[in-house]
């Protein structure tokens, strides 16, 4: 059984079919990348996996449970976490305060208890672990709004990890970043995957990130699966090269 089994999902917006009959299996421990030209349906597909959109058709099975009709916040409690294409953090709070919110929300979801001194200590310990894992320990007391784009993104990823997810969904984590920040973000993702054994589904436009990190790649084009395979197979795919020819993307 795969950790995530998406069976023929479709998403219609009126006349537009943004995602059409897309299936995907993600094994535990895999890093699966989803690529495709602008408007291919990648974010829409993520929105269905994470529960923000209800599929027009198809089923989604996560960790053995059919979650198609289960709301987004319950999927988080079941071990699914995501980040957004646009970073979502509290810029006026410090990194530690942002992580504290995420950790406390997680504990509240799971335990529904008032915080005792022991629990407060456990929260601080968990925050320290997340700071360390995310390479953010040196920035813990800085306001997130003052940090580089890359460190803001790391903060957001570590907030998602505060929920102890089995599956992490990352939507364009390197969007709008320069070379160094893109590289740092890729290193963080690699570490979470290799060292912490996280299962990750990643949407990304930066091909260096994709081809260095992914175990397998699914290519979407106009809402449908165009091709799927290892990075080497996708790099050699004629269909994929044709789909990308002529694509113009701002900022890359």
Ligand X SMILES: Nc1ncnc2c1ncn2[C@@H]1O[C@H](COP(=O)(O)OP(=O)(O)OP(=O)(O)O)[C@@H](O)[C@H]1O
Please state, in angstroms and rounded to a whole number, the distance separating the CA atoms of residues 79 and 27.
Answer: 15
**Interface of this chain with ligand X, residues 4 to 23, rule: CB under 6 A:** 13, 16, 18
Q: Pick one of Mg ion, ligand X, none as the site partner of residue 13 (Cβ within 5 to 8 A by kind).
A: ligand X
**Interface of this chain with ligand X, residues 58 to 117, rule: CB under 6 A:** 85
From the number of C-beta atoms within 10 Å of its C-beta (0-12, 13-18, 19+), residue 182 rates as buried
Least spacing, CB of residue 133 vs Mg ion, in Å: 26
Least spacing, CB of residue 47 vs ligand X, in Å: 7
Coil/strand/helix, residue 66: strand
Q: Which is nearer to ligand X, 34 or 95 (CB)?
A: 34
What is the residue whose two structure tokens read 């919110």? 101
Q: Which is nearer to ligand X, 102 or 220 (CB)?
A: 220
Please state, in angstroms and rounded to a whole number, the distance separating the CA atoms of residues 2 and 28.
Answer: 7
Coil/strand/helix, residue 251: coil
Question: For the chain, how far is it from start to end, CA to CA, in angstroms?
Answer: 38
Residues in binding contact with ligand X, number by CB under 6 A: 12
Dihedral (CA of 87, 88, 89, 91) sign: positive
Least spacing, CB of residue 243 vs Mg ion, in Å: 16
Q: Pick one of ligand X, Mg ion, none as the site partner of residue 18 (Cβ within 5 to 8 A by kind).
A: ligand X
Q: Is 173 in the site for ligand X (CB under 6 A)?
A: no
- Residues that bind ligand X in the complex, under the rule CB under 6 A: 13, 16, 18, 36, 38-44, 85
């Amino acid at each position: 059984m795969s950790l995530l089994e998406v069976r023929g999902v479709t998403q219609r917006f009126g006349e537009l079919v943004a995602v059409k009959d897309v299936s995907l299996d993600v094994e535990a421990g895999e890093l699966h990348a989803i690529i495709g030209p602008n408007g291919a349906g990648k974010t829409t597909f993520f929105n269905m996996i994470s529960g923000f959109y209800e599929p027009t058709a198809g089923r989604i099975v996560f960790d053995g449970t059919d979650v198609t009709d289960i709301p987004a916040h319950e999927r988080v409690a079941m071990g699914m976490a995501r980040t957004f294409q646009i970073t979502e953090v509290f810029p006026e709070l410090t990194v530690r305060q942002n992580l504290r919110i995420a950790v406390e929300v997680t504990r509240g979801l799971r335990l529904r208890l008032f915080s005792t001194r022991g629990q407060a200590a456990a929260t601080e310990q968990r925050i320290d672990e997340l700071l360390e894992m995310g390479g953010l320990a040196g920035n813990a007391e800085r306001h997130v709004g003052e940090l580089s784009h890359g460190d803001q993104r790391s903060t957001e990823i570590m907030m998602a990890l505060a929920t102890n997810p089995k599956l992490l969904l990352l939507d364009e984590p390197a969007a709008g970043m320069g070379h160094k920040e893109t590289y740092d973000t890729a290193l963080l993702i690699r570490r979470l995957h290799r060292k912490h054994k996280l299962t990750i589904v990643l949407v990304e436009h930066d091909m260096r990130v994709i081809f260095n990190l992914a175990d397998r790649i699914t290519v979407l084009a106009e809402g449908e699966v165009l091709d799927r395979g290892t990075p080497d197979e996708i790099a050699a795919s004629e269909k994929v090269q044709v789909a990308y020819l002529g694509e113009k993307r701002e900022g890359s």
